[in-house]
Amino acid sequence: CQASTVRQQRKFPDDFLFGTATASYQIEGAWNEDGKGENIWDYMTHNNPTVIKDVSNGDIAADSYHNYKRDVEIMRELSLDAYRFSLSWSRILPTGMANEVNPAGIEFYNNYINEMLKYNITPMITLYHWDLPQKLQELGGFANPYISDWFADYARVVFENFGDRVKHFITFNEPREICFEGYGTTTKAPILNATAVGTYLCAKHLVIAHAKAYYVYDKEFRASQGGQCGITISVNWFGPHTDSAEDQFAAELKRQAEWGLYAEPIFSSEGGFPKELSQRISEKSAQQGYAKSRLPEFTAEEKALVQGSSDFFGVNHYTGYLISATQAKVQNPVPSLPDDVDAGTIVPAEWPKSASAWLTLSPNSILYALTHLKERYNNPIFYITENGWSTPPEAGLNDDMRGTYYRTALESVLDTLDAGVNLKGYMAWSLVDNFEWMEGYTERFGLYSVDFEDPARTRTPRKSAFIYKHILSNRFIDHTYEPESMTMTID
C-alpha cells in the first residue's frame, strides 16, 4: 500500500523489551499436585462452580505445569525478549505462611526460569496474580492488616530462591481487580460483595503489603541481586465525555477510584489516597451515618513507608471509556465505590468490539493513559505489563482483529515514546489461551490457541502470533505484512 512506503518508519529502541504475559491460575493447572495448597480460585470454583460462565475451572487449564518446555519453545518461536508470569503463592507456601516451603514448588519455578534463561529470555515475575492461599482468606485475606506481613514473608522466600537469576519483580497484579472486583463486588474471588468498606480496606492493606515487600527487596536483596521491584496497576483510559467542567471532574474522580486509589499512595509526591476521591467518600460516609469515612486513613508512618516504594510503574492497559457526570448513569449499590463516584460510562458505538463485554478498541488510549501518568507522577520507568484482545472460541486461528488491535496499540506505544514517556517494554496478553476467570474458556486471549479438548493441550499459533513476531523482530510496524504460511519456526 502506497501510504506505508511513503510514511516515515518509526522504530522501537533495541533495548525495548517485547514479551508476553500470563498468570499462574490461568495456565498452570496441576491444582493439587506435588504439595500445592488450595487457593481462593480452587476453593471458589470447586464449592461454587456456577459462578463461572461455562462452569469450568483452572484445575488443568493450559496444563503449563507439565507443558512449560513447550511454552518456552513458543517464546523462542515468537523471538520474545521477555516473559512475564506469576507464581502460585500456595504452590510455594501451601498454607500461605512462610514457615513451610514446598520444595517441589521451588523446583518447578527454577526449571521454568532456567529454561527461559537458556534461550536468553528475560523472566519477569509477578508475585501475586489473584490466587491467594485459601487459609489466608479464611483469616480475612486483604481485609486483615496482617496480610502485609504474610506477603512480605512470602516475598522474601521468592527473592531468596529466584532473585539470583530474576531481575524484574512485580508485587501485585492489578490492585483494583483484587480489591474492587474481589471485595467490593462479585466479579472475582473471593466474591465478598462487601460494597461499603471492602474495597477501601483492601486498598490500604494492599499498598502497605506492596511497600513492605518492596523494602524486603530494597534492604535485603538489592545490593547482592541488583534487580528492580515494582507494581502493576490496571490503567484503562477514562476521558471526559464532553469538555464541560462537570464531565472533566467526573472523569478525574473515576480515574482516582479506578487506579488513583493504588497509584497515588505509591507514586505521588504528596503520598496518601487521592484528594478529591477521599473528600467525596468522607462526605458520603457522613451523609450515610458512618462515624468515620469508609476510606481508612494512613498513619504518617504508613504514608511515608508506601510513598516512593516502587522502582517502576507496571501498566495493564486494554481499553478506554468516556465518563459523564449526567448521562448513562446506572443505579449502583448504596454505599459502594461506584456510588461514591456516581458517574456514567459511555462507549461510542463505532469502537470495534472484542469477545469481552468490557473491551473495545478505543483510539489512542495508550497515549492518553501513559502521558497522563507521566505528568502526574513525574515520569517514572513504565512497563506495559499487559495489553491484548479477545476473540470467541469459534474464531479459531483466524484472528485478524487481534492483529489489527496489536498494530494499533503499538502505533500508540510509538506515539507514547515520541511524547517522552519513560516506557521500557511491552507485554502482550497472552502467550496462550487460558482460563479467563469468571468467563471460563468462553473468551480467548492467546497469540497461540490451546485445544482444551485435547489432553495434551496442543498449542497452535494464530495469525496474530506471526504479526507480533514480525513487529518485534523488525522493531517496526509493517501494516501490510501477511504470514506466508501458518508454520512457525525458531529463528
Among the listed residues 71, 247, 386, 433, the single contact to ligand GBH using CB under 6 A: 386
Nearer to ligand GBH, 63 or 177 (CB): 177
Is residue 400 within 8 A of residue 389, CB to CB? The reply is: no
* Region of 170-178, 250-258, 330-338, 457-465 interacting with ligand GBH (CB under 6 A): 170-178
Question: Which residues make beta-bridge pairs with 251?
Answer: none
- C-beta closer to ligand GBH: residue 171 or 173: 173
Q: Which is nearer to ligand GBH, 85 or 151 (CB)?
A: 85
Number of residues that bind ligand GBH (CB under 6 A): 15
The grid coordinates of residue 335 equal 454505599
- Residue 316 or residue 464: which is nearer to ligand GBH going by CB? 316
* Residue 245 near ligand GBH by CB under 6 A: no
Give the cell for residue 485.
Answer: 504460511
SS3 315: strand
Are 165 and 124 within 8 A, CB to CB?
no
Q: Take residue 262 and report the three cell numbers written for it.
A: 493504588
Cell of 270: 504528596
Residue 442 CB: number of other CB atoms within 10 A? 16
CB of residue 386 to ligand GBH, shortest distance in Å: 6
Q: Phi and psi dihedrals of 314, rounded to 5? A: -85, 130
Strand order in the sheet with 344-346: 237-240, 320-324, 344-346
Helices (H), 119-235: 134-138, 147-162, 175-176, 198-216, 222-225
- The reply to whether 171 sits near ligand GBH by the rule CB under 6 A is no
Residue among 41, 382, 406, 445 that touches ligand GBH (CB under 6 A): 445
Give the three cell numbers for residue 36.
500445592
Q: Which of residues 26 and 412 has its CB atom nearest to ligand GBH in the complex?
A: 26
Binding to ligand GBH by residue 200, rule CB under 6 A?
no
> According to the binding rule CB under 6 A, does residue 177 interact with ligand GBH?
yes
Q: Does 389 help bind ligand GBH (rule: CB under 6 A)?
A: no
CB of 444 to ligand GBH, least distance (A): 10
C-alpha pair distances (Å), 491 with each of 73, 226, 254, 448:
11, 31, 45, 18
Under the binding rule (CB under 6 A), the answer on residue 126 touching ligand GBH is no
Question: Which are the catalytic amino acids?
Answer: 174, 386
Pick the stretch among 46-54, 172-180, 219-227, 340-348 that binds ligand GBH (CB under 6 A).
172-180
Distances (CA, A) of 158 to 44, 92, 125: 26, 9, 9
Indicate the residue among 184 and 227 with the shorter CB distance to ligand GBH. Answer: 184
* 234 touching ligand GBH, by CB under 6 A: yes
Residue 173 within binding range of ligand GBH, rule CB under 6 A: yes
Taking CB under 6 A as the rule, does residue 354 contact ligand GBH?
A: no
User: Binding residue for ligand GBH (CB under 6 A) from 41, 436, 447, 469?
Assistant: 436
> Percent helix, strand, coil in the chain (nearest 5)?
45, 15, 40
How far does Cα 398 stand from its chain's mean position? Answer: 26
Q: Is 319 in the site for ligand GBH (CB under 6 A)?
A: no
Q: Is 23 in the site for ligand GBH (CB under 6 A)?
A: yes
Interface ranges with ligand GBH (CB under 6 A):
23, 26, 173-174, 177, 187, 234, 316, 318, 357-358, 386, 429, 436, 445
